[in-house]
Structure 1
Amino acid sequence: SFWIYIFIIFYFFFKIRAEIFSVKDDVVEVFSHDILKIILAVVVLNIFFSYGMLYLSNSILDIVPSGNAFNSFLTGTLITTILISPISEELIFRGVFLNRLQLAVPVVFAVLISSLLFAALHSFGSIFSAFIFGICIAILYLKTDNIFVAIFAHFFNNLFAEIIVVLDPNKILFTNSSVVLIMSILAVVSFVIILLFIIGNLKKLNNNDL
């Protein structure tokens, strides 16, 4: 998948080569105060929610063993996970699928379908959280009309997740009952906040007022 992603990235850059210097404003917008604030909020809330979903999936797999839910979470090179995947996946799912779907179905359905396709790439324990994250990223993309905002949010999310893995080699987040309880509570709170964010923005999308 590394080389497929690399090919996709180079293909997109080749297609926009004539306009490559016009993307400067889009890149600068990513680091504006308002955009960074939204990105940080979405990423942090999604991290907590993702761990909640991993706890839930781990509990289910303990009851009905069907493989390791953490395989895709713990494997893969850092370069692919943190850099290559965010760029290529955003170009595909938001840059192509979301935009193309908007031509065929209402924008809310385009957001949901493209996010579902994005979630399908993920493992059992993270499919639902990836779906929610995909919706949030799609909303950010539509609010800003800037693919670099989506890429940076995805990059920051994956970077944050990998840092947590590196800083927690003993799996305290999954083995310490007190930590699991706190993270589970934060997961529920994060999910409620994310859900309110999604519902509010999907209503605006439906009214073409985003």
Structure 2
Amino acid sequence: MKKEIVIISKAIVATLLYVIGIELIGSWFLIAETIDFKNYYEYYTLIQGALQLIGILIFLYFVNNRTFKTLFEKTHRKWWILGIILGILFVFMQTPLNLVYNVVSGTEYNIAYRFDGFSKLNNINLISVFFLIPIGEELFFRGYIQNNLQQNTHTIIAILLASLMFASIHSPYMNLILESSKQDWNLFYLTFFGGQISGILYFKSKSIVPSILFHIFWNLMISIV
């Protein structure tokens, strides 16, 4: 029991450090302004995502004894296909999830499903949204956090805790820092369920790839609809 508490505590601390690291990385624009990098804001999300992924890879390199050999384990292609299908379907699953959220919170979240986002797909920053950020988040929350929890706790607990920590980085914590921030808990709520799907894929396939594919197509569908 004591060992489990230590592992869970380490996972919480690692998540807190992740959030702090992301916020610190997000201040790179101060350097851009100092060196007079004109129009940097046009590439902000792309550069931010690239820096985040690099930071996560450096972290994993050292915690995995300076190796990437076990980073992308091979698995049957059926898990790849399932990951893609679930990523596409999850945006539709959000409708019943939002119905429950709206009843509890008194909000009116609704997805129109107009599929009018295709024209926006030529934005270079979406490379980060579709690839860099999903890869980095899955490597950290599934490949590192969930993997360590699975080795020391029950699988269900590991998936739930990893999902909770994944959702926590999408929580309205900025409300505590900025008075102008008016975020609510809807994104936290949805990513908690998305994290569980991703976590189950990771556990069943024994590979991070299906989880990454799920996350990529989840983000893609959100942009399209």
TM-score class, shorter-chain normalisation, is 0.5 to 0.7
1:78 aligns with 2:126: yes
Q: Percent identity?
A: 28
Matched residue, 2:91? 47
Q: How many angstroms apart in 1 are the aligned matches of 2:220 and 2:61?
A: 23
Is the 2:85–2:214 Cα contact (8 Å) retained in structure 1? Answer: no
Provide the TM-score with structure 2 as the length reference.
0.54
- 2:186 corresponds to which letter in structure 1? G
- 1:116 corresponds to which letter in structure 2? L
Q: How many angstroms apart in 2 are the aligned matches of 1:149 and 1:10?
A: 22
- In structure 1, runs of 5+ residues without a counterpart are 69-76, 165-210
Q: How many angstroms apart in 2 are the aligned matches of 1:83 and 1:37?
A: 17
1:103 aligns with 2:146: no
1:8 aligns with 2:59: no
- In structure 2, runs of 5+ residues without a counterpart are 1-21, 23-47, 110-124, 172-184
Matched residue, 1:131? 192
- Count matched residues: 147
1:147-199 alpha-carbon deviations (Å, 9 max, x no partner): 112112111211221122xxxxxxxxxxxxxxxxxxxxxxxxxxxxxxxxxxx
Query: Secondary structure at 1:103's aligned position in 2?
Result: helix
1:146 aligns with 2:190: no
- 1:150 corresponds to which letter in structure 2? S
Q: Which has the higher helix share?
A: 1
Residues 16/160 of structure 1: CA separation in 2 closer, same or farther (3 Å cut): farther
Is the 1:58–1:125 Cα contact (8 Å) retained in structure 2? Answer: no
Q: How many angstroms apart in 1 are the aligned matches of 2:54 and 2:95?
A: 29
When the two chains are superposed, the root-mean-square deviation of aligned CA atoms in Å is 3.2
Is the 1:47–1:161 Cα contact (8 Å) retained in structure 2? Answer: yes
Provide the TM-score with structure 1 as the length reference.
0.57
Which region of structure 1 is more displaced relative to structure 2, 104-113 or 45-54?
45-54
Deviation of 1:88 (Å): 0.9
